[in-house]
Structure 1
Amino acid sequence: MATQKLASLFFLQQIIHVLFILHLANADHGLKLGFYQKTCPDAEAITRKITHQHISRAPTLAAPLLRMHFHDCFIRLVPNCWQGCDGSVLLNSTKNNQAEKDAFANLSLRGYQVIDAVKSALENKCPGVVSCADILALVTRDAVSMIKGPFWDVPTGRRDGRESVASETRDLPPPFGNITLLKQKFAAKGLSVKDLVVLSGAHTIGTSHCSSFETRLYNFTGKGDTDPTLDPNYVVHLKRKCQPGDTTTLVKMDPGSFRTFDGDYYTLVAKRRGLFQSDAALLEDTETKSYVKLQANTYGSTFAKDFAESMVNMGKIGVLTGKAGEIRKHCAFVN
């Protein structure tokens, strides 16, 4: 009898989980294009103008802003307790709470000043109307498009969350993840395997600290060895830059065009020169490997279009709409 009850409980939990994932995958959660058309018609124009001012002076900010949006959306999700693209990564820690932005995984994020500048301008124009979560989504789109990346229409209407807990960043896909783990992480957010391989292409811009891939160079299995999936010639190059224990040196993720959004990332992965284990993992799965090879062999022919579509999909994860959450006056603080 006890065994039957446990089996029934497990089955019920699985059904609830499946329904939750289907809800994530199929619902737009109340987002729509032109959400601010009547309440703040200049919202997107103001956002783009200010983003352009910052990115034109510091184009390397595009990569951390893109990561910021990704890290905001990939926070832990629990049924009936939505946390996703709600601007929670922007909140400051308090005396009694360590926020997401101060979690280890987020310490390298930069560009908060861009979000704050846009928020200040929009509060002057349309007080209490445009959410920080929407600002982050729009700024990310504009920053990527300004470094020769794609432009996509961003459905808006997100509201801001009131909670931000550092420990919930444990749901972020780790740089050491294998393909099984990565697929699980993305599926849990209602994203497809294609979304996984496409969004991994964000590594075409930006830099990484040596500490994020040091194990691949010096102690892959705990025996002082090197990851055999990494190109040996590239290992030599990386070891010249990164010594064991180096926590400060930055390495370009896409050498040659790390400031330009293009399809070169897939060429590097195909040559076994992706920096992270999560990059190499894309060659472990038939579907992801096929996509890598396609982009590598066609100079990223469909990457821009695919990336735009996957960013829209990602931007819908766990959003707050309607009367949920709030519209923060300042992005770093709850009202």
Structure 2
Amino acid sequence: MGRFLNSFDTIIVLVLFFPCFNAQLSPTFYDTTCPNAVTTIRTSIRQAISRERRMAASLIRLHFHDCFVQGCDASILLDDTANFQGEKTAFPNVRSARGYEVIDAAKSAVEGICPGVVSCADILTLAARDASVAVGGPSWNVRLGRRDSTTASFSRANSDLPAPFHDLNVINALFENKNLNERDMVALSGAHTLGQSQCQNFRTRIYSNGTDIDAGFASTRRRQCPQNGGDENLAPLDLVTPNSFDNNYYKNLMQRKGLLHSDQVLFNGGSADSIVFEYSRNQQTFYSDFANAMVKMSEIELLLGQNGIIRRVCGAVN
């Protein structure tokens, strides 16, 4: 053989090695090494949400914020070190991202039965699925086998995550950078049928007197969000059913009652309008698309095989 493989040899190499890469990610990944892992994690997550129902939204969001920054590698869980600044203090996460202690508790429970086997990245991925189910949302099969990163990226957390003030074209571009299309984006945005947002994220919108916001809705929101001060005052993203996973989010958008600018741009005369309309009429279609999009998102830029590590504690490198 010469210095270079010919095309036939290249095809053989791809056939031999590509299936092995895929085989490292499987719903049954821990069946032999830690058969009770998935059940143990589910129990821990359900207990946390039973104590505070809002935690379901926080865990889904935590997973999203992890995957959009150097992939689904649990980098968002790492605390700052002398070698790098973590993602927890980046603008989209500081005083906003929450649920770290819930993931830590699930990790501790799994470490108690199978030390050093289950990654924090897999726990975070399972937690998002279990959180959805706990509040009446869809379920989906989670392929497991992710490994944890040894570093985090403060800069990418600030640049790669959508912001509450972004327009539709910017949001679409950020999702396209992660190989997620507009339908995926609109479906994943439906997670805003749960949870709350801080006043500083929607103040400009509710005081804008714009044509894209219902006047009564804006007036109601101003009660908890003054023009000055109260930046961290909370308001539910969905006034109707803030703790249940349903399709009211899309119905709200059609009534110009999206809390965030980045919500309402999904239904404002643009390319996403038809998808919002479809989801508002058919909750099952939304559920199906949300589940599919969560699977796609959960497999962004994974560390597999010998790449990455299994952290013993989610907030620190071993």
Q: TM-score, normalised by structure 1?
A: 0.84
1:162 aligned partner? 150
Shift in alpha-carbon separation, 1:151–1:89, aligned structure 2, 3 A:
same
| 1:253 paired to 2:223 | no
Match of 2:92, SS state, is: helix
Partner of residue 39 from structure 2, selected from 26, 39, 45: 45
Partner of residue 132 from structure 1, selected from 120, 145, 148: 120
Is contact 1:29-1:319 (8 Å) kept? Answer: no
The offset of 1:249, in angstroms, is 1.1
| 1:71 paired to 2:65 | yes
1:109-258 mapped onto 2 (5 Å cutoff): 109-169=97-157, 170-218=159-207, 225-245=208-228, 246-258=230-242
Determine the C-alpha separation between the residues in 2 that align with 1:168 and 1:121: 31
Determine the C-alpha separation between the residues in 1 that align with 2:291 and 2:284: 13
The offset of 1:87, in angstroms, is 0.1
Is contact 1:129-1:327 (8 Å) kept? Answer: yes
Q: Which segment is superposed worse, 142-151 or 228-237?
A: 228-237
Determine the C-alpha separation between the residues in 2 that align with 1:153 and 1:301: 17
Say how many residue pairs are matched. 295
2:277 aligned partner? 293
CA deviation digits over 1:265-310, x for unaligned, max 9?
0000111111111111112465521111122234x23111111111
1:58 aligned partner? 52
2:6 aligned partner? none
| 1:104 paired to 2:91 | yes
What is the aligned-residue RMSD (CA, Å)?
A: 1.6
1:31 aligned partner? 25
Partner of residue 325 from structure 1, selected from 291, 299, 308: 308
Is contact 2:53-2:243 (8 Å) kept? Answer: yes
Q: Which segment is superposed worse, 249-258 or 275-284?
A: 275-284
The offset of 1:29, in angstroms, is 8.8
Determine the C-alpha separation between the residues in 2 that align with 1:168 and 1:301: 34
Partner of residue 278 from structure 1, selected from 233, 243, 262: 262
CA deviation digits over 1:56-110, x for unaligned, max 9?
11111111111100000011xxxxxxx2100000001124532101212112122
2:81 aligned partner? 94
CA deviation digits over 1:34-62, x for unaligned, max 9?
11111111110111111111111111111
Match of 2:284, SS state, is: coil
Determine the C-alpha separation between the residues in 2 that align with 1:71 and 1:227: 30
Determine the C-alpha separation between the residues in 2 that align with 1:172 and 1:248: 20
Determine the C-alpha separation between the residues in 1 that align with 2:50 and 2:220: 31
Shift in alpha-carbon separation, 1:29–1:264, aligned structure 2, 3 A:
farther
Is contact 1:179-1:284 (8 Å) kept? Answer: no
Determine the C-alpha separation between the residues in 2 that align with 1:285 and 1:326: 46
Determine the C-alpha separation between the residues in 1 that align with 2:279 and 2:22: 29
Q: TM-score, normalised by structure 2?
A: 0.89
Structure 1 segments unaligned to the other structure (5+ residues): 1-26, 76-82, 219-224
Is contact 1:29-1:321 (8 Å) kept? Answer: no
Determine the C-alpha separation between the residues in 2 that align with 1:214 and 1:28: 45
The percentage of aligned residue pairs carrying the same residue is 44
The offset of 1:228, in angstroms, is 2.6
Match of 1:183, SS state, is: helix
Match of 2:43, SS state, is: helix
Structure 2 segments unaligned to the other structure (5+ residues): 1-20
